């Protein structure tokens, strides 16, 4: 009977223990849910969420999951409302930040099946558009006050929100143009036409539709324009040299692609001469036209004259050289020779840049060029004497030329080649000086 009695009490104790556990569990989740409900009613949503989360994690209660969903939806709505409130009070930057926070909150709690408020994406875009508009207005005001650095900073904020904002790019272009335009205007007002042209041309390259800049650029170019006629004077130099020099000078001036310089061709020059002759005629009325002797189309005349031309060539000199080193020939029957000759050319060119109307000389100088070249060639000769290196010492041996190498020769430049080199150098210098000429 004793074992039966003990088993009875053991079963009774186990039943009571399980009952206590069940009652304790019921009491525990009930306490968590009640606390969560109180926190939710008090508006302490973050704390309520934590309580609901704890109840769900421990007991997997459906009511806890529903509570978590409800509280998260309220928190998301509050965040969105706060963001929109900032936007409506023109605190767009704060509003955008709060909307970002709301979206981040939604992404981190999507597992609770919460929903973003209706039209929130549209409201975000509207808020962003309002902020962008406000930034653009501030940037425009800064640009008008010549606070260009501040305007650029504001535009950077616009780009961060709307990378392809067309009004922002237009304003950014205007900010780039303003200082260039102002520099051009200063030069224009001072009559510094070349500087004015360069600045206004930069503006037009940035914005070709800028009519005022284009007009002032063209006016500056018109005022800075130089038309030049090259006139070669007679000289004792060969005609081909005079002609080549004139052609090279014109070519180098054209290669400058200088917008201020117009080079008149031969046909233009002939017309100028005829016009000059007309102005010198007795029938010409000096009171009603250009003054006698003035060219009406050319601003400047560039006179050029070769005042010295001297070509010289020294007699060719011959030297014995080492056959083995120079030609890879080894025999005492062979004699090798090196021939050397020098050619020199000296040109002195005098030029004047003259005002076509007044005859005033603006530039005058003599440019001297000395060119020289030395030519070298090699040759050999096989003698008829008995070779001292012959095995028998009493008869000639055949010279082996199978391994002979042809030494490198430096051919002497011709007079024409030297003169062309000198001419090109002179022409480049004339073009450079004319390009740098600024009568202002």
Q: Angle CA(192)–CA(193)–CA(194) in degrees, nearest 5?
A: 100
- The H or E element that residue 373 is part of is strand 361-382
Task: Please state, in angstroms and rounded to a whole number, the distance separating the CA atoms of residues 6 and 12.
Answer: 10
Task: Please state, in angstroms and rounded to a whole number, the distance separating the CA atoms of residues 139 and 152.
Answer: 7
Look up residue 410 and give its DSSP letter.
Answer: B
Q: Are 133 and 158 in contact (CB under 8 A)?
A: no
Q: Which residue is listed with tokens 């549209």?
A: 122
Which residues does 189 contact at the CB level (< 8 Å), separation at least 6?
none
Question: What residue spans define the domains of the chain?
Answer: 24-117, 143-223, 227-436
Task: Please state, in angstroms and rounded to a whole number, the distance separating the CA atoms of residues 114 and 122.
Answer: 19
Tens of each residue's pLDDT in the chain, 440 residues: 445 445 554 454 454 444 444 444 456 677 888 888 888 888 888 888 888 888 888 888 888 888 889 888 888 888 888 888 887 777 777 888 888 888 889 888 888 888 888 777 787 777 778 888 888 898 889 888 888 889 889 888 888 878 888 888 888 888 899 999 999 999 999 999 999 999 999 999 999 888 999 999 999 998 888 889 999 988 889 999 999 999 999 999 999 999 999 888 755 556 655 665 555 444 434 444 444 344 445 689 999 999 999 999 999 999 999 999 999 988 888 899 999 999 999 999 999 999 888 889 999 999 999 999 999 999 999 887 665 555 545 456 678 888 899 899 999 999 999 999 999 999 999 999 999 998 87
Q: Which residues pair with 229 in a beta bridge?
A: 301
Residue 148 to residues 140, 157, 176, 369, 412: CA-CA distances in angstroms?
A: 10, 14, 9, 53, 65
Residue 252 to residues 194, 258, 418, 419, 426: CA-CA distances in angstroms?
A: 21, 11, 18, 17, 10
For the domain spanning 24-117, the CATH number is: 1.25.40
Nearest to 80 by CA among 110, 112, 64, 104: 104
| CA neighbours closer than 13 Å in the CB half-sphere of residue 414 | 3
Residue 208 to residues 212, 213, 306: CA-CA distances in angstroms?
A: 10, 9, 46
Tokens at 168, concatenated: 């922002």
CATH class, range 227-436: alpha beta
């Amino acid at each position: 009977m004793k074992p039966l009695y003990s088993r009875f009490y053991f079963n009774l104790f186990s039943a009571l223990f399980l009952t206590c556990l069940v009652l304790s569990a019921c009491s525990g989740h009930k306490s968590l849910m009640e606390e969560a409900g109180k926190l939710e009613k008090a508006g302490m949503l973050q704390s309520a969420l934590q309580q609901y989360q704890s109840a769900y994690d421990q007991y997997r209660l459906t009511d806890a999951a529903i509570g978590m969903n409800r509280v998260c939806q309220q928190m998301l709505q509050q965040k969105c409302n706060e963001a929109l409130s900032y936007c409506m009070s023109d605190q767009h930057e704060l509003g955008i930040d709060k909307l970002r926070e709301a979206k981040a909150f939604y992404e981190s709690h999507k597992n609770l099946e919460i929903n973003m408020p209706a039209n929130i994406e549209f409201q975000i875009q509207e808020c962003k558009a309002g902020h962008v508009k406000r930034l653009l207005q501030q940037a425009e005001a800064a640009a008008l006050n010549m606070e260009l650095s501040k305007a650029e900073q504001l535009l950077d904020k616009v780009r961060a929100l709307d990378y392809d904002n067309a009004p922002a790019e237009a304003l950014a272009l205007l900010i780039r143009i303003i200082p260039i335009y102002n520099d051009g205007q200063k030069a224009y007002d001072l009559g510094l036409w070349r500087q004015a042209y360069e600045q206004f041309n930069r503006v037009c390259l940035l914005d070709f539709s800028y009519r005022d800049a284009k007009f002032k650029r063209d006016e500056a170019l018109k005022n800075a324009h130089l038309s030049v006629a090259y006139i070669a004077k007679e000289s004792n130099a060969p005609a081909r040299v005079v002609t080549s020099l004139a052609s090279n000078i014109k070519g180098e001036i054209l290669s400058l692609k200088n917008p201020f310089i117009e080079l008149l061709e031969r046909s233009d020059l002939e017309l100028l001469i005829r016009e000059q002759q007309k102005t010198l005629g007795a029938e010409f009325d000096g009171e009603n036209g250009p003054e006698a002797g003035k060219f009406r189309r050319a601003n400047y005349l560039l006179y050029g004259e070769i005042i010295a031309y001297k070509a010289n060539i020294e007699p060719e000199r011959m030297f014995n050289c080492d056959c083995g080193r120079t030609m890879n020939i080894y025999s005492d029957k062979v004699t090798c020779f090196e021939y050397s000759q020098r050619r020199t050319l000296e040109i002195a060119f005098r030029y004047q840049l003259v005002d076509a109307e007044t005859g005033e000389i603006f530039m005058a100088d003599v440019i001297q060029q000395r060119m020289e070249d030395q030519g070298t060639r090699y040759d050999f000769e096989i003698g008829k004497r008995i070779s001292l290196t012959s095995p028998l010492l009493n008869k000639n041996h055949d010279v082996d030329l199978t391994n002979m190498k042809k030494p490198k020769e430096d051919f002497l430049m011709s007079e024409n080649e030297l003169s062309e080199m000198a001419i090109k150098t002179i022409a480049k210098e004339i073009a450079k000086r004319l390009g740098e000429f600024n009568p202002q």
